[in-house]
């Protein structure tokens, strides 16, 4: 088992409009990218469990082979910048991904 943060070059999150946050996990090695895909460590179901949300809050989930990247977008609980929003840019939401265990 390895941590996703040890396998990916980039793990980040950011706003995708005021109502969504998008996440990018980018790999530099195609072989590792393909092993992560086969491991099923990141699927809409595992992402929903990781973030404690319903799968219906995942707007998109894409395995983008040309860039060796996994991208997903979730609907925010509240609009960016509204009262009670603790991360106006959505840039701090990637942290749970760092510790995801990948069976490779």
Q: Which residues contact 53 (CB under 8 A, 6 or more apart)?
A: 74
Domains of the chain and any CATH numbers = 2-78 (3.30.70.260)
| pTM, 2 dp | 0.93
What pLDDT digit, counting tens, does each position of 15-60 carry?
999 999 999 999 999 999 999 999 999 999 999 999 999 999 999 9
Q: Residue 13: which pLDDT band, with cuts at 50, 70 and 90? A: very high
Name the DSSP letter for residue 24.
E
Percent over 70 (pLDDT), the chain: 100
Please give the pLDDT value at position 40. 97
Q: What is the mean pLDDT of the chain?
A: 96
């Amino acid at each position: 088992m390895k941590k996703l943060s040890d396998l990916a070059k980039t793990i980040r999150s950011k706003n995708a409009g005021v109502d969504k946050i998008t996440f990018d996990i980018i790999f530099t090695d195609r072989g590792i990218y393909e092993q992560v895909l086969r491991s099923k460590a990141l699927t809409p179901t595992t992402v929903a469990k990781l973030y404690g949300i319903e799968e219906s809050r995942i707007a998109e989930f894409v395995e983008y082979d040309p860039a060796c990247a996994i991208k997903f977008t979730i609907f925010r609980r509240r609009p960016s910048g509204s009262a009670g929003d603790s991360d106006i840019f959505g840039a701090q939401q990637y942290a749970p991904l760092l510790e995801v265990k990948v069976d490779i």
